[in-house]
Structure 1
Amino acid sequence: MWKARPPELYKSLRCNFSVPTLEINGNADEESIADIFVRVNSGGKALGEDDFILTLISVYWQEGRQKIEDFCRSAKIPKQGTAYNFLFEPSPTHIVRMAMSYGFQRARLHYAYMLLRGRDFDNGVYSDALRVQQFDKLKTVLDKVLNVQVWKNFIKCIEAAGFVSKTLISSENALVYSYAMYLIGKFDYGMEESALRKLIAKWFFMCSTLHTRELFSPTADGSKSALERHHLFPKTYLARIGITDDRDRNQTANFAFIEWSDNIEILDTSPAEYMKDQLAKIPADEKDGVYAVHALPDGWEQMKYADFLSQRRGLMAKVIKRGYERLK
């Protein structure tokens, strides 16, 4: 049975803490309350303009905020009629960026936030009338952004570019702004769906070639998945021949993706050594095709490292070009 603690113990545990409070006048309007929220939070956890925009939407259009949340939740539910897909689960922040980019042509959310507050950029004055006007426009914009069928048609554009797994998506923002471009093409220019799909597929493909590491090693996430990133010239082997700088050893052209069990077998042997066993697994009539797909120069395993990197970079560029041309 627990014994009662003596008062002296409680006294010894007492500490003086100062908890700041903020009293808001009961007559304060919604705009003032939203502004106070922004100012208070900007001094604590770092919040972005997207958080402030979502706060404004919550204050002036609660139904709209709920629509955004519902859409994002549905993107996680693999069910007919939801926004679910295998590539991307948008967050409320993503939806804000899509809406501001498409509907207001504002890539910088700082200006989008001021716009929704009703700022006239000509004279710098805020007005309730302009705020109401901008929110009316936002309602129309969100109806298009959150249209499930429109969203799924856009995802088909990305799949048409060859991106069939989320591990291939190197930039979520590239998806966000590509969707904004899709909406502009569809609703502002009335483009025919097949032509628009080809255009967006080509656009997204080129955006993603800025991240060629993901194209040539799509599951480089550190987990033991079916495929794993592999140094064609192993790091330990390169260290043995005097190449110790990770910047040199981790060149994109030195990566490929293979089955992780093979990666374990290769470990730190030279390409000339481990490729003897690997080539034995490839039928002779398929070798050229395998090398072409992986952008490997013929006889690369016997090359000097610098020469290999130089030649493979050129072949990787050609693989990317062929992929792009197939989208025409």
Structure 2
Amino acid sequence: MKKLDSIKSINLGVIELSDDLSIEEVTEIFIRINSQGVVLSNADFAMSKISSDELFGGSLIRRIIDYFCHFWERPMDYESIIQNDEFFANSEESKKIKWVIKDNQDVYIPDYTDVLRVAFTYKFKRGKISDLVSLLSGRDFNTRENKESIAKESFEKLKEGVEDFVNEVNFKRFIMIIQSTGIINKSLVRSTNALNFAYALFLSLREKKVDPNLIEKIVRKWVVLSFLTSRYSGSPESRFESDIRRFDKLNPEEYLKQVEEGELSDAFWNNLLVSNLESSSTINPSFSVFIMAQIKNNARGFLSEHIIVKSLVEEKGDIHHIFPKNYLKKNGINNRSMYNQVANYVYTQSEINIRIKDKAPNIYMKEVLDQINKGEAYYGSIGSKDDLKHNLYENAIPEEFVEMDVEDYLNFLDKRRRLMSQYIKDFYFSL
């Protein structure tokens, strides 16, 4: 009790800011002061600005965003929140986001920063969240004055953007487009910002009444392009603003084509992507796109007759080594980053991997060919040489792999990276 009572005597520091400071200066002070504890962002400042508004419905906007994001993580809290928040319970917005509590997708689970970024980019055709704070304060960027009319208009536009974001039809159609690229769960998402921009683009094209089939095509290709080129890695705000304005002012198909010609040239497919696949990390974006391509194409797991990669990913199946790890280590390749190359990874059934054990490819693949000749199933159930050839294609594995041993490992990696790159290229242009 004494500790609780002592709170009354704690001195709290108060910093008074001059009323002639610009909103940019206030934002910077806000962020610097709070950097000593939990680091706060422009999105945190924007949410504070929204919730403190008493004139233009900021409190309701804040609730829509907070509750929408909260229900993805804890749908069971819906009833208690509705019972305890009478203001929100009596609003139409509470009904508009109720659908979330029954949804079970895990491809795109947005937080409040994501909602703000998408709604702002889509409605304002800007990328910097600090600009949102300025606009909500009534900032006129031409005269550098704060005007109530601008603040009112900005809150109205933001509310429209947030409501479009949380709209069930919009959100589910967007998720269906994303899933149609082969992204079936969040394990394949290597850039949430890529999804954020894709959703802003989707909403923007819908607002412009672009043909739905064309919207699907553009958004699908843009997501994959963004992953492959790490377009929104690091600080994405300037890129967001540049891209959304070009999509808005130019013919969307033409702008996509311009970016493809600049970013996805022959040099990209034949050299840069091959180089990007020289990695030991399974979270490598290029490798993730390769898995997406396999899922999209209903490719089967390595040496599987019926089990597809999609099922293995959904069941959180393991990625295994084509050249077994222990086999490589026993033969002098002890560097972890060498035997764990993504070009040596493949989705396959655990029972197949167990039977491969530590054998050289030219040993276990001879056994696969023997089983085909004898009609006996041991490594999966592939029953013909043509089917085996197709299975190697589905997994971007060179045919000559069946005769390889440790001496061919580096050559194998190079050949497979090139086949993976071609596989991804074919996938991209089929979207």
Question: Fold match, TM over 0.5?
Answer: yes
Q: Is residue 351 of structure 2 the alignment partner of residue 238 of structure 1?
A: no
In 2, the alpha carbon distance for the partners of 1:277 and 1:52 equals 64
Worse-matched range after superposition: 117-126 or 204-213: 117-126
Worse-matched range after superposition: 301-310 or 93-102: 301-310
**Deviation at residue 275 of structure 1 after TM alignment:** 3.8
In 2, the alpha carbon distance for the partners of 1:81 and 1:214 equals 33
In 1, the alpha carbon distance for the partners of 2:142 and 2:165 equals 28
Superposed CA deviations along residues 52-94 of structure 1, whole A, max 9, x for unmatched, are 212111112110011112322444559x962435222211121
Q: Tell me what 1:202 maps to.
A: 221
Superposed CA deviations along residues 195-214 of structure 1, whole A, max 9, x for unmatched, are 21122122223333451222
Q: Is residue 270 of structure 2 the alignment partner of residue 166 of structure 1?
A: no
Amino acid corresponding to residue 158 of structure 2 in structure 1? L
Going from structure 1 to structure 2, the CA distance change for 1:69 and 1:267 (only over 3 Å counts) comes to farther
Q: Is residue 196 of structure 2 the alignment partner of residue 176 of structure 1?
A: yes
Q: Tell me what 2:210 maps to.
A: 191
Q: Tell me what 2:234 maps to.
A: none
The SS at the match of 1:256 is: strand
Amino acid corresponding to residue 228 of structure 1 in structure 2? D
In 1, the alpha carbon distance for the partners of 2:147 and 2:141 equals 11
In 2, the alpha carbon distance for the partners of 1:167 and 1:272 equals 33
2:339 to 249, 253, 260: 249
**Deviation at residue 160 of structure 1 after TM alignment:** 2.3
The SS at the match of 1:299 is: helix
Worse-matched range after superposition: 167-176 or 232-241: 232-241
Q: Is residue 123 of structure 2 the alignment partner of residue 118 of structure 1?
A: no
Q: Tell me what 2:235 maps to.
A: none
The SS at the match of 1:46 is: coil
In 1, the alpha carbon distance for the partners of 2:366 and 2:421 equals 27
Worse-matched range after superposition: 64-73 or 286-295: 64-73
Q: Does the 8 Å contact 2:290/2:423 carry over to 1?
A: no
In 1, the alpha carbon distance for the partners of 2:211 and 2:51 equals 36
Q: Tell me what 1:214 maps to.
A: 288
Q: Tell me what 2:86 maps to.
A: none
Going from structure 1 to structure 2, the CA distance change for 1:242 and 1:56 (only over 3 Å counts) comes to same
2:400 to 294, 299, 306: 299
1:56 to 46, 49, 56: 49
**Deviation at residue 224 of structure 1 after TM alignment:** 12
Q: Does the 8 Å contact 1:226/1:259 carry over to 2?
A: no
**Deviation at residue 39 of structure 1 after TM alignment:** 5.5
In 1, the alpha carbon distance for the partners of 2:147 and 2:168 equals 34
Going from structure 1 to structure 2, the CA distance change for 1:245 and 1:157 (only over 3 Å counts) comes to same
Worse-matched range after superposition: 144-153 or 254-263: 254-263
Going from structure 1 to structure 2, the CA distance change for 1:242 and 1:112 (only over 3 Å counts) comes to farther
In 1, the alpha carbon distance for the partners of 2:287 and 2:132 equals 34
**Deviation at residue 150 of structure 1 after TM alignment:** 1.0
In 2, the alpha carbon distance for the partners of 1:19 and 1:161 equals 56
The SS at the match of 2:319 is: strand
Show structure 1 runs of 5+ residues with no match: 1-17
Amino acid corresponding to residue 55 of structure 1 in structure 2? S
Aligned-CA RMSD value: 3.5
Going from structure 1 to structure 2, the CA distance change for 1:264 and 1:92 (only over 3 Å counts) comes to farther
Q: Tell me what 1:289 maps to.
A: 390
The SS at the match of 1:155 is: helix
In 1, the alpha carbon distance for the partners of 2:289 and 2:324 equals 20
Q: Does the 8 Å contact 1:217/1:228 carry over to 2?
A: no
Superposed CA deviations along residues 213-237 of structure 1, whole A, max 9, x for unmatched, are 2244579xxx995521222223443
TM normalised by structure 1 equals 0.77
Q: Is residue 13 of structure 2 the alignment partner of residue 22 of structure 1?
A: yes
In 2, the alpha carbon distance for the partners of 1:217 and 1:261 equals 21
Going from structure 1 to structure 2, the CA distance change for 1:205 and 1:38 (only over 3 Å counts) comes to closer
In 1, the alpha carbon distance for the partners of 2:421 and 2:158 equals 42
Q: Is residue 401 of structure 2 the alignment partner of residue 323 of structure 1?
A: no
Going from structure 1 to structure 2, the CA distance change for 1:21 and 1:267 (only over 3 Å counts) comes to farther
The SS at the match of 2:347 is: strand
Q: Does the 8 Å contact 1:224/1:260 carry over to 2?
A: no
Amino acid corresponding to residue 94 of structure 1 in structure 2? D
In 2, the alpha carbon distance for the partners of 1:153 and 1:224 equals 21
2:172 to 131, 146, 152: 152
**Deviation at residue 297 of structure 1 after TM alignment:** 0.6
Q: Tell me what 2:67 maps to.
A: 70
In 1, the alpha carbon distance for the partners of 2:350 and 2:177 equals 31
1:308 to 412, 418, 424: 412
Q: Does the 8 Å contact 1:81/1:148 carry over to 2?
A: no
Worse-matched range after superposition: 174-183 or 294-303: 294-303
Q: Is residue 40 of structure 2 the alignment partner of residue 47 of structure 1?
A: yes
Amino acid corresponding to residue 202 of structure 1 in structure 2? K
Amino acid corresponding to residue 82 of structure 1 in structure 2? W
**Deviation at residue 146 of structure 1 after TM alignment:** 1.9
Amino acid corresponding to residue 322 of structure 1 in structure 2? D
In 2, the alpha carbon distance for the partners of 1:105 and 1:174 equals 16
Aligned residues: 301
The SS at the match of 1:82 is: helix
TM normalised by structure 2 equals 0.61
Amino acid corresponding to residue 224 of structure 2 in structure 1? F
Worse-matched range after superposition: 45-54 or 264-273: 264-273
Q: Does the 8 Å contact 2:333/2:339 carry over to 1?
A: yes
